[in-house]
Chains A and B, each alone.
Chain A
Amino acid sequence: MKLREHLTGETLALAGLVLVLALLPSLATAFFVNFVMTQTLILGLAAATIVFLAKYGGMTSLAQLLMFGIAGFMFGNAALDGGARGLNLGWHPWAAVGFAILVTTLVAFVLGAVASRTTGIYFLMLTLVYGVVGYFVFAQIVEISGPGGITSIQRPELLGPPVRLYYAGLLLSVLAYAGFRMLGRTAFGLALQGVRDDPVRMASLGFNVPLHRALAFTLAGFVAGLAGLLNVWWNGQIDPASISIGPTLILLIIAVIGGMSSLAGAWLGAFVYVLVLTYLRDLPLVDRIGITEARFNTVIGVIVLVIMVLSPEGLTGIVQRLRGTTRKELGGIRP
């Protein structure tokens, strides 16, 4: 392929978007950057792991928020020193980061290996079980979760000012997006897609199907763990309720809003979710028609329903269809 082909279209648009996001702290208010956009990037990064597993591996996982939570809890236990909550290991923050990521990745590998022989609805159910069991593990074993959550979690000094957390989220998001896209073109990625399409044929060709699935799950767990670290730095605390069934489903909903077949959709879905959560109630007269903040979940539910009806491919599906229509009208269909 030629350079020119790449510099047109999607790649260029995404590069432009990243540039805008990089310049955003100079353009937007502190609240928009540090709250809305930072949360968008964190949730988007976590939701992207669901999309990655679904898009390349054909696995819809409900365990990604658990990985997100494990990383947060492990960081809290390792980094805090002398509080009333958690293990209080008092390690150096970066050692705690390494520990958190290591534990998360190992757990992801083990859980992925166990789940690797299931597909479809069984995989979904099994990962749901992971999520629920994980929640109860943290809710019941209070030595590692508080009791009542781990609070006062500080960011490493390097990420002190909130805007740096935003940039860290942006950097990791860009790396994850590009990394997942590139992985899809590697031998492993191609084999994974083969496993998604026809596991029996791939097995008969000599590919180790469960191993491919387990490794993909491990990678997704690793990335979800990174998002989990950003989340505890951003939020300052984590408790078992943070990884209960409600938030677990929210993460899947974010991926569905964006579109399960598009990696970029994960961030788009997160953006829509955070926007609705933050700004819906500020719209003039919206409370007059009964949409108060207490109805937030209903609104999100309606949005999901509408998207599912209009475009099963999510918002990115709508965007692509609009682009297709415009191209047809302009007669600009590519050969």
Chain B
Amino acid sequence: MSGPKLRKALVLLVSAGLALVTGCAGDGDDSAGLPADQQNSVAGGSGSGDGIRLGILGQCEGPFGGFHEDVVAGTTLALARFAGATPESSTSALEGFSGAEVAGTPIELVGIGCGDDTADRVVQEVRRLVEQLGANVIIGPLSGDEGIAIAEYAKSNPELTVLAGISGSQEQTLQVQAPNYFRFYGDGAIWNAGLGDLLHNEEGWDTVAVIADDYSFGHTSAAGFIADFCGVGGKVTHRVFPPLGTTDYSSYIAALPGPDEVDGYFWAVGGTGTQAALEAFVNGQGDLSGDQHAGNLFFNPDLAQALGTDIAGAYVGGFATLPADVRTPEIEEYLAAADETWESIPGSLSGNEPAPPSVAAAFGFFYGYYTAGVALVEGLEAVGGDVSDLDAFHEAIAGLTLDLPYGEISLDENRSGIVDVGLSRLALDDSGNVVQETVAIVPGVDQTFGGTFSPDTPSPGRDFPACEERELPWEGNAIPVVDGVPQS
């Protein structure tokens, strides 16, 4: 037999053999009985009753890589406070913890997933945690697109229980609706609820131009503001979407109307873009007047370093926690507990240098993972530590109302948080520095915005939602906050 012919014969033989194997596996039942032929098996399975095998999904690379310590510390703090966990290290949460137990059920940390802000990577990380390390409960993920991918993963793996970390996309609960995926915090849209009401009804803004990052979180964040501002009767005249990672915003600023053409501007530009975009605004449209600007959670007092104190007066949307001026006894207790649990944590807010853990704990990334940890503990308590009946366990979690330091959180029918949103304003303190002051707390905000968003509506995008007036459940219900004290 000549060379090529022999090769052909060999190839045909091997291919036929493989096709046969694939084909046989294709007949009848869904299992060929091979060890590898299990539908995304959850090893151990929470149904087997040998405790909680916990995996935490964070990000150690990418734009939020700096928050890796923060998020793992968040969950660890919840388990240290309410499940008796002891961190393995007093200066880092990434070393893990031991001794966690709720109602006789041990909680073991099997692994920490390392995402890089892409959905592809986080799916691979969760598969490693679940399929290799046998996790049956996942806490995480951190960012928007990851949340959708993990919710889908949860949907196709019903034996798993997922408590979302701080991922802010709307669809992960509103559209995916996985029965085993729970989110004990708001989403990117929720965090801007009440801001439009405040600007339209109290500051007298009738028209606004919106500028937002052209990706899911930017869209969602802008969508929340637009739904709220238009809901109470305002008009959005311009929507400008610069791509994420833009460095020169001048052409996008040129697309905005001048300061005398609209009442104000709403900015949902994050990361390094916030400052760059505002600087481009000063260069392109003239001086900045804080009264004419509002931003989502990316607005903060540090902007004054480059923009000067003119930024004072700008309103800022909420996040999972409240600005530092609100200090209730519950918040004090929570922050003190963080400081007792570790000597220091190299969190993102301290530039990943060792700092008191309360610095990280006061910010939303840490707190989102903390609320998930508390939900796990209370869910286990509700079923007496018995997770053999997963449906009962999931039902118990879905029915929880958590009394948390920054406000009470319960879940809607899609297992997404109904939360209180804290709105704030950049203001000058007595020494002339720009600080962030809480101005109002909007209670009981849910995902739907009175019907603007539903499982049947498209994902927030460049054109969605349209600007329409509608009843908002929280219109006029905002609780004013004066000097850090809610006036309820």
The interface of chain A, by Cβ under 8 A from chain B, is 1, 3, 6, 11, 15, 18, 22, 24-26, 28-35, 39, 83-85, 139-140, 142, 146-149, 151-152, 158, 160-164, 166-168, 170-171, 174-175, 178, 181-182, 185, 235-239, 241-242, 247, 277-278, 281, 292-294, 296-297
A294 to B25, CA, bound (A): 39
Contacts of B18 in A (CB 8 A): 22, 167, 170-171, 174
A133 to chain B, nearest CB (A): 14
Q: Is B120 an interface residue, CB under 8 A from the partner?
A: yes
Contacts of A164 in B (CB 8 A): 22, 25-26
Contacts of A3 in B (CB 8 A): 1, 6
Across the interface, name the chain A residue whose C-beta is closest to B2. A1
* Cross-chain pairs A/B with CB under 8 angstroms, 7 sampled: A25-B36, A30-B35, A148-B148, A148-B169, A161-B38, A171-B18, A278-B128
> Which 9 pairs of residues, A with B, have the shortest CB-CB distance?
A33-B36, A294-B60, A293-B114, A178-B11, A25-B36, A148-B216, A163-B37, A25-B34, A167-B22
Q: Are A237 and B149 in contact (CB under 8 A)?
A: yes
A85 to chain B, nearest CB (A): 7
B37 to chain A, nearest CB (A): 4
Q: Is B10 an interface residue, CB under 8 A from the partner?
A: yes
Q: Are B175 and A239 in contact (CB under 8 A)?
A: no
Q: Are A162 and B149 in contact (CB under 8 A)?
A: no
Interface string of B109-135 (1 = CB under 8 A from A): 000001001111001100110011000
Other-chain contact of A168, B4, B7, B22, B61 (Cβ < 8 Å): B22
Q: Is B283 an interface residue, CB under 8 A from the partner?
A: no
- Chain B count of residues within 8 A CB distance of the other chain: 64
Q: Are B61 and A158 in contact (CB under 8 A)?
A: no
Query: Provided the pairs A30-B41, A235-B123, A236-B156 are in contact, do residues A175 and B35 lie with their beta carbons within 8 angstroms?
Result: no
Other-chain contact of B459, A25, A85, A296 (Cβ < 8 Å): A85
Q: Are B120 and A11 in contact (CB under 8 A)?
A: no
Q: Are B41 and A148 in contact (CB under 8 A)?
A: no
Interface string of B11-51 (1 = CB under 8 A from A): 10011011101100110001110111111110000000000
Q: Is B461 an interface residue, CB under 8 A from the partner?
A: yes
B115 to chain A, nearest CB (A): 10
Q: Is B153 an interface residue, CB under 8 A from the partner?
A: yes
Contacts of A1 in B (CB 8 A): 2-3
The interface of chain B, by Cβ under 8 A from chain A, is 1-4, 6-8, 10-11, 14-15, 17-19, 21-22, 25-26, 30-32, 34-41, 60-61, 65, 68, 94, 114, 117-120, 123-124, 127-128, 131-132, 144-145, 148-149, 152-153, 156, 169, 171, 175-176, 215-216, 219, 243, 458-459, 461-462
Across the interface, name the chain A residue whose C-beta is closest to B132. A31
A139 to B216, CA, bound (A): 11
Across the interface, name the chain B residue whose C-beta is closest to A28. B36
A157 to chain B, nearest CB (A): 9
A318 to chain B, nearest CB (A): 25
Query: Provided the pairs A174-B15, A182-B8, A239-B120 are in contact, do residues A151 and B39 lie with their beta carbons within 8 angstroms?
Result: no
Q: Are A147 and B25 in contact (CB under 8 A)?
A: no
Q: Are B17 and A242 in contact (CB under 8 A)?
A: no
Contacts of A178 in B (CB 8 A): 7-8, 10-11
A216 to chain B, nearest CB (A): 19
Q: Are B26 and A158 in contact (CB under 8 A)?
A: yes
Interface centre among A161, A174, A181, A292 (most CB of B within 10 A): A161
Contacts of A11 in B (CB 8 A): 7, 10
Contacts of A185 in B (CB 8 A): 3-4
Contacts of A293 in B (CB 8 A): 60, 114
Q: Are B36 and A235 in contact (CB under 8 A)?
A: no
Other-chain contact of B145, A149, A175, A292 (Cβ < 8 Å): A149
A147 to B215, CA, bound (A): 8
Q: Are B123 and A237 in contact (CB under 8 A)?
A: yes
Q: Are B175 and A84 in contact (CB under 8 A)?
A: yes
Contacts of A296 in B (CB 8 A): 61, 114
Other-chain contact of A148, B14, B22, B144, B152 (Cβ < 8 Å): B144
Q: Are B10 and A15 in contact (CB under 8 A)?
A: yes
Across the interface, name the chain A residue whose C-beta is closest to B13. A15
Contacts of A247 in B (CB 8 A): 120
A316 to B357, CA, bound (A): 50
Across the interface, name the chain A residue whose C-beta is closest to B18. A171
Across the interface, name the chain A residue whose C-beta is closest to B151. A151
Q: Are A162 and B36 in contact (CB under 8 A)?
A: yes
A238 to B1, CA, bound (A): 46
Q: Are B4 and A182 in contact (CB under 8 A)?
A: yes
A31 to B131, CA, bound (A): 6
A54 to B210, CA, bound (A): 49
A34 to B149, CA, bound (A): 18
Q: Are A149 and B119 in contact (CB under 8 A)?
A: yes
A30 to B61, CA, bound (A): 28
Q: Are A181 and B7 in contact (CB under 8 A)?
A: yes
Q: Are B175 and A162 in contact (CB under 8 A)?
A: no
A73 to B159, CA, bound (A): 29
Contacts of A139 in B (CB 8 A): 243
Q: Are A151 and B148 in contact (CB under 8 A)?
A: yes
Q: Are B461 and A15 in contact (CB under 8 A)?
A: no
Other-chain contact of A30, B15, B26, B32, B36 (Cβ < 8 Å): B36
Across the interface, name the chain A residue whose C-beta is closest to B118. A241
Other-chain contact of A242, B32, B120, B132 (Cβ < 8 Å): B120
Interface centre among B7, B11, B144 (most CB of A within 10 A): B11
A296 to B216, CA, bound (A): 27
Contacts of A163 in B (CB 8 A): 25, 32, 34, 36-37
A170 to B20, CA, bound (A): 13
Contacts of B119 in A (CB 8 A): 149, 151, 237, 239, 241-242
Contacts of B120 in A (CB 8 A): 235, 237-239, 241-242, 247
A166 to B18, CA, bound (A): 11
A275 to B58, CA, bound (A): 21
